Amino acid sequence: MSRLQHFGWFLARGFGPHGWGHPYLDWNWQWTRPELYQQSARELERAGFEFVLIEDAPSLGSPDTIDLRVRHAFGGPKLDPLLLAPYLFQATTRLGVIPTVNPAAYLPYTAARQFATLQHLSGDRLGLNVVTDTGSARHFGDAPQLSHDAAYDRAEEWLDGIRALWNSWGEGALVRDTATGVYADGTKLRPVRHRGEYFAFDGPLNAVPFERGEPVIASPGGSGRGLGFAGANSDVQLALAPLTEQSVRAYRAKIHAAAIERGRSPSDITIMFAIQPVIVSSPEEADRVVAASAHPDDAVLRVIAQRQSSDLETDLTVLDLDAPLPEGLFAEHVSQGSIRRLIGDRDAATAPLRAHLTALARAGRISDRSGFVGTAEEFADMIEELGEWGNDGVLLWGDLHPVTIHRTLDDLVPVLRRRGILRDELSDGGLRASLRSF
C-alpha cells in the first residue's frame, strides 16, 4: 500500500491584506497584486503540493458589525479568488487552484461557462470550493435568506445544473474535421431545460466539452448535511475534526456512507484534514513555544478577542475579561461552529471570557497530540499515523506569503519526501489526475 498522502495549502483568510499585523509586511509585497501569490504558488508546486485552495466570503457580514470585520483586516476586505486563479495558473504548470465559490453569487449558466473556460485555460487544473454561507444573500437580490439545509439543497441544484450544462455536448458533438471543414455537429448538442426550485435556465452551454474531465469539486461543510453534500458531490472534502483515531475514522465513515448512498465509491473522495502546524527546529524549541503560550498577557488576549469579534460578528473587546459572557450575547445569525470554537468544553454560564481566550492562545505539542507545535520529524510521525487510520491527506493552512510557506515547508518537505509520504513531483494530467494518482 502506498504511504503517499495528498497535500494541499489552504489560504485561510482569503484574498485579502496579506501580512497585516505581521512584521513581514515590510517585505513590500502588495496584496492586491498577483506577484505575491504567484511566488508562493511556484513554491508549493515545487514542494509537490497538489493544490492551493483559497477561502472566500463575498460579504463583509451584518451591516452593524462591519467595523469588527475590517478594523484589523481579519474578516475583510477580500477580493474575488476566482479572478486570482488565472494568474496562479499562468505562474505554474501542474498546481491545482481551488477558489471558493458560493452558489448564491452565480447563475448556473454563467458559472458553468466561466468554470469551463478556466478549466480549459488551466489545462484541467481548476477546482471549486463550494460553500453555502447564507449571510451574504442580501447582496444578490431581495429573496429571503435561506435556512442552513435549504442552502445545501440550492447548492446541489446549482451543481447538478452546471454539470448538465457541461454535459450538454454529447458524444461525437465536437468533430474538428479539417478535411470536411466541420467543426461541430449541432444535432448532438442536448438542449437542457431546467426549471427547479431555485434556478431556471436553458442550455446547451456555449463552451467546448472537457477532454480530461470536469473541474474538481471541493467542500468544507462539517454538519450532517454538509458531509452528505460531500459524499454526493465532492472530489475533495476539507475536514476539521479532532485528530484522534476514533474521530478521523468516524468522519471518513460518514462521508463514505453518503457517497455509497448516492451511487458513488468512497475512493471518489479525497478527505483532507486541515492543520496549521508550527514547525520548529528542535523538541526543546517546541517546549519553549508551548510554555510561552501557557500564560498569555492581556495584550495577547486582546488580539485574540479582536479576531474572534470578527468571526463572531460580536464585539468581545468591550467585555470584561474576568466575567462570563453575557446571556444572549450572540445574535441568531452568528455561526454556531464559531461559538463552539470559542467556548470549547467550558461552561458558558460560569467561565470568564479570559478562560476562553486563554484556551485559544495556548499551543500544544505535536508529539503528545495536544497541538501542532513540533519538529518536521514529529509532524511526519503524525501524518504517518493519520495514514495508518486510512486518511487520504492534509491541508496545511496559513496565509500565502512566501515567508509563511518557507517557514512551514523548508524543513518539512525533505523529511516527508525521505519517508515516502510526499510525492516528488506532480503529474501533468490535471488536478483530478493528481488526486486519483494513488
Ligand X SMILES: Cc1cc2nc3c(=O)[nH]c(=O)nc-3n(C[C@H](O)[C@H](O)[C@H](O)COP(=O)(O)O)c2cc1C
Q: Does 132 bind ligand X (CB under 6 A)?
A: yes
Which of residues 100 and 122 has its CB atom nearest to ligand X in the complex?
A: 100
Q: How far is the CB of 274 from ligand X (least distance, A)?
A: 4
**CB 81 → ligand X: shortest distance, Å?**
8
Annotated binding residue at 268? no
Beta strands 373-374 and 200-202: pairing type? Answer: unpaired
Distance CA 279, CA 286 (A): 8
CA-wise closest residue to 215 among 175, 165, 273: 165
Helix extents (H) in 13-147: 35-47, 66-70, 81-91, 108-121
- Residue whose C-beta lies closest to ligand X: 226
**Among 21, 172, 326, 337, contact with ligand X (rule: CB under 6 A):** 337
| Cell digits of residue 4 | 503517499
Give the range of 59-67, 108-116, 216-224, 430-438 binding ligand X by CB under 6 A: 216-224
Continuous segment of H or E residues that includes residue 195: strand 193-195
Is 57 a binding residue for ligand X by CB under 6 A? The answer is: yes
Strands 182-184, 174-177: pairing is antiparallel
CB of 251 to ligand X, least distance (A): 11
Distance separating alpha carbons of residues 21 and 55, to the nearest angstrom: 19
Q: Which of residues 26-55 bind ligand X (CB under 6 A)?
A: 55
- Choose which of 123, 170, 222, 266 interacts with ligand X (CB under 6 A): 222
In angstroms, the CA 267 to CA 13 distance is 30
8 Å CB contact between 185 and 173: yes
Q: Return d(Cα 190, Cα 165) in angstroms, integer.
A: 9
Cβ neighbours for 240, distance < 8 A, ≥ 6 positions apart: 220, 222, 273, 274
Beta-carbon neighbour count of residue 62 at 10 Å? Answer: 16
CB of 56 to ligand X, least distance (A): 5
Q: Which of 95, 191, 81 is nearest to 131 (CA)?
A: 81
Residues 271-290 that bind ligand X (CB under 6 A): 274
Give yes or no for a contact between 241 and 252, defined as CB atoms under 8 angstroms apart.
no
Region near ligand X per CB under 6 A, out of 160-168, 198-206, 214-222, 349-357: 214-222
Task: Please tell me whether residue 218 binds ligand X under the rule CB under 6 A.
Answer: no
Helix (H, G, I), strand (E, B) or coil at 307: helix
Number of residues that bind ligand X (CB under 6 A): 20
Q: Supply the minimum distance, in Å, between the C-beta of residue 215 and ligand X.
A: 16
Contact present, 416 and 422 (Cβ < 8 Å): yes
Q: Contact with ligand X (CB under 6 A): which of 8, 96, 226, 371?
A: 226
If the CB atoms of residues 226 and 402 are measured against ligand X, the closer one turns out to be 226
Q: Is 308 in the site for ligand X (CB under 6 A)?
A: no
Instruction: List phi, psi (to 5°) of 355.
Output: -65, -40
- The torsion angles phi and psi of 248, rounded to 5 degrees, stand at -65, -45
282 carries a ligand binding annotation: no
Give the nearer residue to ligand X in terms of CB position, either 53 or 421: 53
Q: Please say whether the dihedral angle defined by the alpha carbons of residues 394, 398, 401 and 403, taken in this order, is positive or negative.
A: negative
Asked if 240 is part of the footprint of ligand X (rule: CB under 6 A), the reply reads: yes
106 known ligand binder: no
Q: Tell me, what amino acid is at 408?
A: T
Per-residue mark of binding to ligand X, 6-25 (x: CB under 6 A): ----x---------------
399 contributes a contact to ligand X by CB under 6 A: no
Q: Is 300 in the site for ligand X (CB under 6 A)?
A: no
| Annotated binding residue 37 | no
Q: Is 345 annotated as a binding residue?
A: no
Identify residues 84-103 at the interface with ligand X (CB under 6 A). Answer: 100
Q: Using the rule CB under 6 A, give the single segment among 26-34, 125-133, 181-189, 209-217 that binds ligand X.
A: 125-133
Does position 133 interact with ligand X (CB under 6 A)? The reply is yes
The four Cα atoms 313, 315, 320, 322 give a dihedral, to 10 degrees, of 30
Residue list for the binding site for FMN? 56, 100, 148, 152, 223
Site for ligand X, rule CB under 6 A? 10, 55-57, 100, 129, 131-133, 148, 220-223, 225-226, 238, 240, 274, 337
